[in-house]
A and B are shown apart, each in its own frame.
Chain A
């Protein structure tokens, strides 16, 4: 039994009447990647904010290398050598890479920053994460805001490693904004970090990712530890079983669907940069999947169709209307668009659940532009019931809901506006398995009822699981749509990467 780097014993935390952690125990060994698994609401976030010093536990014991560990602020946790890389990166976009790495601990003489030393430390930290090769390394004098998400993440990890004695690195959903080639690079970074004896806590919804990178795992459910062990001895199905508390569930339901008339026809569509010359047809009663790498132009394709992005050339017919129109006209025509960026674009985080849900369809809420709060609430309550959205009531601020429930609200908006053509961009990004299953079920129900769904997703099992046909996009071009039965993950990935 190796000496554990961090041990948590029976940690408890309640917020008002809700019990977030009912007793969680887990232990992380130095040089190991420890996966923390659980649905949203299982208590992962609370546990992480306790480790990172943002929340104090009510009861329980935390020890870091044998010594009691009770950080009162994130800064204290960092000084103790526990650094967290958040899902939403916390960097200063206006500062350079080296300034971000040195932030708060700038070497200075009489208050004047010694820039050569800043540069030296930054290069050392960057080398620690990406090896001596400078190809994949961001330039130390580049503005962080100009870097792609993968580069920013690297900077954030480098900043954690630049701490004088970094002992534990917590990565929260680190791959959610990365393409698959960047994921590979991140994994080699994580392995390099482990090789230095640093313990890594890895939080992710992607089980196959966890199998690739992690050594041990702990599963949380309803604020308790329900399973732990070494990953090599456990099958993915068993982990899912522990997460949901029942046997591996039927993730991808499939009702009988009949393809009807063509409702969306795109010919030679070209956007500002991407896509370049895309053609496709979508029928009622089918789910057409667009697979591909992040940055292939899939999001831009959906945005061009919905009128959010500029179109340079091409033809478009949707539900009998031809030509390119702005979003308000599209919504009237019966097109619904779900954004991939729930926080920044998909939902208005300051508004209530009901306001968000009815934002694109206020006409039935009152005559002549009036909006009656009672009707709005009634409309929202209908969808809260139908989609089993978990919320206190329709007027609850949307920000208080879990990610999965927020996403259900965003989807319910398209149902409320009575769309016929659904443009869904990464509909299950960053949400828990239970909510995913419910969203798959909803998409299946839509197709069975004769709606048309155009689905963009980077998660291949889901594309293969729920789509009738799949087309692969690469560098702005869309390949032919083929029946799902003819494809498997390997074939799609080969086409997406051009291998």
Chain B
């Protein structure tokens, strides 16, 4: 389910008397493994998880904690799916945090206006998706750098959320939305995780497939790799970019639904700085801020890694600052290791 660019096994295993200039077959196998960009993050995740499980077996290793951590990864994870597409396409979206907050406010107001839970959720997602398309439109048609446009959008959306909420939290009857990430009701324990986690997994799988197997997905890679070439070859660069930012907005809106499910209030000051966590997840997962590289699986693993460190540190009784320092170190280490991987013969 990796949407990077590596050789499918059917061809790599074809009988060839003269091995490629890469060298002996076993050397090539190593090379192929190295080409799987999310392998390192997966190994890191497994290592960190086992480490905490050994250090605090009685609390950390419990299955309820596993479910809790999955639940805590959902918001960052869903937003990271969108961010990964944006970054692969050579862009960046700093407005994610504000977009999530705006979505919670929209949902709360919709619920208070008498809308059903589904209608409210759709309203929140739609507003965020439209904002994303708007950001993408300015980036693509105005040819302005994504950093600046989304930096502006970050402030605009935050302001809009505050205006819509009259600068205060909006309490609302969740009408079942809180069930998305709540404790599973009696008789549904076969689900293991609450529905929100499954929605997250489904979205990640869906968009991993979109990136790998659709024209749209391959064009995102092409634009991030070399935009001028993509244009030359007839890729509709503007439309693709608007699509990418629109989808990223849509996913931010869904993250907003999940955030509302957790908070059950519309909070315009919520999720400040969330965009940096989301970018960190993508980068830990092997996305290159220069574009052309990245994978959904990697980003999901990156988001999980950050949750595991956060939770593990709490269970160990470590102060908050230690966890922050460690997370920062992991971001830098991940990128440094990724560079080494690229240089490997």
Contact = CB atoms under 8 A, between A and B. Distances in A.
B231 A75 contact: yes
A330 interface: no
Interface string A137-150: 00111110000000
A78 interface: yes
B145 interface: no
Interface string B90-116: 000000000000000000000000000
B11 interface: yes
Contacts of B216: 111
A418 to B, nearest CB: 36
Interface stretch (B190-198, B222-230, B263-271): B222-230
A99 B232 contact: no
Interface string B209-238: 000011110100110111011111111000
Interface string B1-27: 000011110011000001010000000
A104 B292 contact: no
A371 B35 CA distance: 47
A108 B217 CA distance: 12
B338 interface: no
Nearest to A111: B214
A93 B291 CA distance: 11
B178 interface: no
A96 B222 CA distance: 10
A74 B231 contact: yes
Contacts of A99: 5, 218, 221-222
B259 interface: no
A141 B214 contact: no
Nearest to B31: A146
A94 B213 contact: no
Contact of B230 (A92, A112, A141): A92
Contact of A139 (B7, B230, B231, B292): B7
A351 interface: no
B218 A112 contact: no
Contacts of A135: 18
B292 A93 contact: yes
Contacts of B275: none
A94 B221 contact: yes
Contact of B215 (A91, A113, A140): A113
Contact of B225 (A79, A92, A113): A92
A459 B161 CA distance: 65
Given A79-B234, A111-B214, A112-B213, A91 B7 contact: no
Contact of B5 (A95, A103, A105, A111): A95
B222 A108 contact: no
B104 to A, nearest CB: 32
Interface in A130-166: 135, 139-143, 159
A108 B292 contact: no
A103 B7 contact: no
B232 A74 contact: yes
A115 B212 CA distance: 11
Interface string B288-299: 000011000000
Give chain A's interface secondary structure class: loop
Nearest to A114: B213
A95 B215 contact: no
Interface string A455-480: 00000000000000000000000000
Interface in B119-174: none
Nearest to A75: B234
A139 B18 CA distance: 13
A115 B214 CA distance: 10
Q: Which of B7, B12, B226, B229 has the most CB atoms of chain A within a 10 A radius of its CB?
A: B229
A495 interface: no
A346 B222 CA distance: 28
A94 B293 contact: yes
B229 A103 contact: yes
B218 A139 contact: no
A116 to B, nearest CB: 10
A10 interface: no
A106 interface: yes
A141 B16 CA distance: 15
Nearest to B217: A113
Contacts of A79: 234
A321 to B, nearest CB: 31
Interface in A6-58: none
Given A93-B292, A139-B7, A141-B7, A105 B221 contact: no
B7 A111 contact: no
* Chain A CB within 10 Å, residue with most, of B213, B225, B230: B225
A188 to B, nearest CB: 20
Given A78-B234, A95-B218, A99-B218, A90 B11 contact: no
B225 A78 contact: no
Contacts of A95: 5, 218, 221-222, 225
Nearest to A105: B234
Nearest to B229: A90
A96 B5 contact: yes
A388 B6 CA distance: 51
A106 B218 contact: yes
A106 B233 CA distance: 10
A90 B218 contact: no
Interface in B233-274: 233-235
Max count, chain B CB within 10 A of own CB: residue among A92, A93, A106, A111: A92
B230 A104 contact: yes
B7 A142 contact: yes
A78 B235 CA distance: 12
Interface of B: 5-8, 11-12, 18, 20, 35, 213-216, 218, 221-222, 224-226, 228-235, 292-293
10 contacts: A92-B225, A93-B225, A94-B5, A95-B218, A99-B222, A104-B230, A111-B215, A111-B216, A139-B11, A141-B8
Given A104-B230, A105-B234, A143-B35, 14 more contacts: A75-B231, A78-B232, A91-B226, A91-B229, A92-B225, A92-B226, A92-B292, A93-B292, A95-B225, A96-B5, A103-B230, A106-B215, A141-B6, A141-B7
* The 10 nearest A-B residue pairs measured at CB: A104-B233, A94-B292, A104-B234, A92-B225, A94-B225, A141-B7, A90-B229, A103-B233, A92-B226, A75-B234
